[in-house]
Amino acid sequence: MSNASEAPTPDDGLRLMESADTGPVLAADGTPLKRSLGRALRRQKLRALMLIAPLLLFVLLTFIAPIADMLFRSVENQIVSDTLPRTVVALKDWDSTSGELPSEQIYEAAYYDIFIAAERKLHTRLGSRLNYELTGASSLFRKSGRGLDDIGEVYQDQFEDLNKAWKDGETWAQVMGSDAWLSEANSWGKSSGKLAPALELRDGIAELLPKTAESYSSFANFVRVDDGDNPASEDPWSLVYAALWQDLTSGADVSAYSGPNADLLQEAASAAQDFESISFTDGFAEIDEDWVDTPIWQTIKTYSPKYTSGYFLNSVDMKKTPDGPALRDEDQRIYGLLFKRTMFMSLVITISCIMLGYPVAWILANLPARTANLLMILVLLPFWTSLLVRTSAWKVMLQQQGVINDVLVWLGLVGDGDRLVMINNQFGTIVAMTHILLPFMILPLYSVMQTIPQTYLRAAKSLGATNWTAFWRVYFPQSVPGIGAGSILVFILAIGYYITPEIVGGTTGTFISNRIAYHISSSLNWGLAAALGAILLAVVLILYWAYDKIVGIDNVKLG
Amino acid sequence: MKLTKTLLATSALTVAAGAAWAESHMSSEMTLVSWGGAYQASQQKAYSEPYMEMHPDVAVVWDESSNEAVAKLRAMNEAGNVTWDLVDVVASDAIRLCDEGLAMEIDPEEDLAAAPDGTSAEDDFGDLLVSDCFIPQIVYSTTFGYRTDMVPEGVDAPSQICDVFDLETYPGKRALEKRPINNMEWALLCDGVAKEDVYDVLETDEGQDQALAKLETIKDEVIWWSAGADTPQLLADGEIFIGSTYNGRLFSVIEEQDQPVAMMWDAQVFDLDGWIIPTGLDDAALARVKDFVKFATDTQRLADQAKYISYGPARASSAPLVGQHADLGIDMAPHMPTDPNNAQNTFLYNYEFWADYRDDIDAKFQAWLAQ
């Protein structure tokens, strides 16, 4: 006995640790136990992480990243400022609510931007983008791409009439480019497989002819990169002629210039004052009257920031206006209705699944295993059948000349003239989707019910409970985790369904996902689709959070 | 004599060598995208099978993705990996793809074959070259088919577009496409708007409301379709009395499946379907595709396609060559939407108008549908 009492107990160890004066507890290798333990744990965690790393990476790369990228489009709006950089800056000072037209400087900036965009074939893309906000923008930009040539050609023709040399790309290259660049460019051949040498401006030319230098640089860069040609031998855009005219008439002192073709430039400078000219505003007005109206400029200004709330406003039936967000016209409001309908119908479908699935799961759980397995196949069989087949089968069943109506008419319950309308409406969608989603309710219910011992019910009854009380007070509470799991599965699946509503939903049974699909594949308004999707995702997460608060996610059992 | 022979031999060699050189610089595989079903089958028989006979080394892969071609092409382009070489799309999509820079501009003179009589491709296709990127193949139309056994007794069969809106004379369900295009025009036509004014009216809010109000009169009786196969099925089931769809689909219901259905061509809307070449192909793939397109859109090939499906060839020079159906042996010309008897009153899809107004009117139309 005494030996036993002297033997060290775990308590002794604790007491030892608590006594500070003994120093830290050491592991066998002499390092402090705490550190050694930490190291071992860290290694274990790392090993666990490495085990799941492939899956984690896979999910990140193929699931999370694409979703994040897609959702990011709901605010992304760089296209406007990327395509019209000068215009966006120039429009900053324009008061879009004043009702006044933008100034000549803004038209000038727009001329340069749209001209270059048209050469790079980007203007129509911007047109489609702005057409989501302003009807007619699409054709306005398409037309302007062609029409803007007319403005520059006014000057191009006059320069060329003045001296044929201006027709020649080389004349321009000699004036604008440095000598080193010229000799390099002249020895370049397309067959070399490399890009032509990048333009290096002649010393001082950028100060002397700023607009010409800028537009010629854009031109040279375009020819070099996009066309893969040599800028030194290509004839410049009509835009460059307009820029030169602007520079010459705004007091450029070309007598200071002494490079090649100085005589040409001086001749042009004195003649340019008398050139026939056209204001950019008039040039735009000639292309389309819409350019001399405020809506297009308001739209460009409203959508000029790199990020926009426009798509999100759009998906809650609002729009951006110069005076801030405003509700859309009543006859264009649709998304609020569709969100509400999607929620409501998903809820109805979930409830119908509980009502139909609960008794089935109960029977399955209480039958002998052999019979239960046989019946289980009946539940799983539709689960394994193609979604499209099941939906189309419901069409055959429910349509007016379909099986159910035919039987009802044959039985004399319904007259041939007034067959029931059971498809292409909410009813059809709810029936078809309940059927399709039913296995997702039955399976978790079944696996939870299987774990509830039969003896509990018998015990309740032996203690005097009626059948109902025994079920409601004893059995049902234990099956709630199964209902929870099934409901979450069914509801979340239902909310994102789109094939079935599309086929059997008609006009009153369609979901928000049908509009998302439309914007992704037909209207190409991916920003709006992303915003609608983001809202849908947020709603699901909020509902999930609420569910966790109210029911508790710990109570959900999938098996 | 000897010299001529030598010359001939050398030139023949040069030609052969040239052809071999060209051939070796073309990709030996090509992915074509189309709509599937009878339409794609007609393209395979008329275009790709004869082409593969001429070029046995070329493998042609077909993809049935034309339905979502615009979205997929955009996604491929963003990912920088375009895996399609030639895509069959309707003209309005071609215009959009061109606008977005996703389709390549073509030069009809250089890229397309001239007609046998020497007419240039540009003149032969004429106005149907609606976009710089679009190579038309067929003219199809959206028109109506009705159940002949459901026409009320003592009433003439429906013969004009406004019969669709006449519920008193022609009771029964109708099928219309679940989008504003075509439906808005038909509604206005039957609400007293003259044909030439339709788009001027439709530009205005009042005009759009007017069209929707007219559609409202039959809204309860309409089943809205979104796939071209819906209306033929609904007609075959007797679910509807009259419905709109593509004329080729109706042809197969009437002639191939022998259903009691007849055509109503009045106010049919012409539309075009054709090829686009995606941007971003490498040189070898591009060379192969251009070679194929030149062959597949020549006068004889377009005429051949009409043997298998009742869509009109897009070349003027192909029309006289249209013969009989390959299996049924019936004359195809009377089943073409462009046949003078059928084309007495027609509409041409207004591409420019719908490119601008599509988003706006669609929002209104969908809101109206949902209410």
Question: Which residues of chain A carry a pLDDT beneath 50?
Answer: 1-5
Contact B359 A523 (CB under 8 A): yes
Q: Is B67 on the interface with A (CB under 8 A)?
A: yes
Co-location of A129 and A250 in the same domain: no
In angstroms, what CA-CA distances link A476 with A283, A437, A559, B230, B325?
78, 22, 16, 46, 67
Is there a single domain that holds both residue A452 and residue A547? yes
What is the four-CA torsion angle of B240, B244, B245, B247, rounded to 10 degrees? 110
For residue A378, what is the DSSP state?
Answer: H
User: Which CATH number characterizes residue A423's domain?
Assistant: 1.10.3720.10
Task: Tell me, yes or no, whether A295 lies in a domain.
Answer: yes
CA A380 vs. chain centroid, Å, equals 36
Nearest to B90 by CA among B67, B72, B74, B111: B67
Tokens of B161: 């577009």
**Nearest by CB: A332 against B226, B355, B367:** B367
Of A312, A322, A274, A290, which is closest to residue A161 (Cα–Cα)? A274
B367 touches chain A (CB under 8 A): yes
**Domain co-membership, A482 together with A508:** yes
Give me the phi and psi of A108, to 5 degrees please: -65, -45
Q: Is residue A231 in a domain?
A: yes
Q: How sure is the predictor about B1, in pLDDT bands with cuts at 50, 70 and 90?
A: very low
Backbone angles phi, psi at B58, to 5 degrees: -85, 130
Residue B65, classed as helix, strand or coil, is: coil
What pLDDT does A191 receive? Answer: 79
Predicted pLDDT at A4:
47
- Here the ipTM equals 0.87
Q: Per-residue pLDDT tens for A533-551? A: 999 999 999 988 988 888 7
Q: How far is CA B335 from CA B264, B318, B323, in A?
A: 12, 15, 11
Q: Is the pLDDT of residue B355 over 90?
A: no
Predicted local confidence at residue B22, as pLDDT: 64
CA atoms of A175 and A243, how far apart (whole Å) = 14
- Check whether B15 has a pLDDT greater than 70: no
Determine whether the interchain pair A137/B71 forms a contact, defined as Cβ–Cβ distance below 8 Å: no
Indicate if A431 and A388 belong to the same structural domain.
yes
Indicate the number of domains in chain A: 4
Residue A12 domain flag: no
In a domain, A307, yes or no: yes
Q: CATH classification of B140-272+339-370 is 3.40.190.10, yes or no?
A: yes
Task: Name the residue range of residue A104's domain.
Answer: 82-148+280-327
Q: Under DSSP, is residue B93 helix (H, G, I), strand (E, B) or coil?
A: helix
Which alpha helices (H) appear in chain B, and where do they start and end?
Answer: 2-24, 37-43, 49-54, 69-79, 91-99, 108-111, 121-125, 183-189, 198-202, 205-216, 230-237, 247-251, 283-296, 299-305, 351-370
Residue ranges in A120-237 assigned as alpha helix (H): 123-131, 137-147, 149-162, 169-176, 179-186, 205-208, 210-225
Contact at 8 Å (CB) between B77 and B102? yes
Is residue B224 predicted with pLDDT exceeding 70? yes
Instruction: Tell me if A201 is assigned to some domain.
Output: yes
Say whether pLDDT at B6 is over 60: no
Kindly report the CA angle at B117 between B113 and B123, in degrees rounded to 5? 60
Q: Which of A125, A136, A331 has its CB closest to that of B364?
A: A331
Asked whether residue A235 falls in the same domain as residue A128, the answer is no
| Least confident residue range of A184-188, B183-187, B209-213, B242-246 | A184-188
CB contact residues (below 8 A), chain B span 95-154, against chain A: 96, 98-101
Whether A416 and A467 map to the same domain: the answer is yes
**Is A455 part of any domain?**
yes
- Residues of chain A whose beta carbon is less than 8 angstroms from a beta carbon of chain B are 121-122, 124-125, 127-128, 131-132, 135-139, 142, 331-334, 337-338, 341, 399-402, 424, 502, 506-508, 510, 515, 520-526
User: What is the location of CATH 3.40.190.10 in chain B?
Assistant: 26-139+273-321, 140-272+339-370
CA dist A141 and A475 (Å) reads 69
Q: Helix or strand or coil: residue A287?
A: helix
Asked if residue A47 and residue A93 are part of one domain, the reply reads no
A448, A535: one domain: yes
B26-139+273-321 — its CATH code?
A: 3.40.190.10
- How confident is the model over B170-174, as a mean pLDDT? 94
A227 and A309 share one domain: no
Beta-bridge partner residues of B143: B245
Share of chain B above pLDDT 70, in %: 94
β partners of residue B145: B243, B263
**pTM, to two decimals:** 0.87
By the 8 A CB rule, do B160 and B266 touch?
yes
- The mean pLDDT of chain B is 91
pLDDT at residue number A2: 44
Domain boundary among A288, A310, A327: A327
Backbone angles phi, psi at B95, to 5 degrees: -65, -40
Considering only CA atoms, which of A432, A441, A440 is closest in space to residue A509? A432
Average pLDDT of span B150-163: 94
A92 and A52 co-located in one domain:
no
User: Residues A414, A320: one domain?
Assistant: no
The verdict on residue A16 lying in a domain is: no
Check whether residue A468 and residue A344 sit in a common domain.
yes
pLDDT tens across B335-351, in order? 999 888 999 999 888 99
B209 vs B213: CA distance, rounded Å: 6
HSE toward the beta carbon, residue A359, CA cutoff 13 A: 3
The answer as to whether A65 is a domain residue is: yes
* Interchain pair B356, A135: CB under 8 A: yes
What's the CA gap between B1 and B151, in Å, rounded? 78
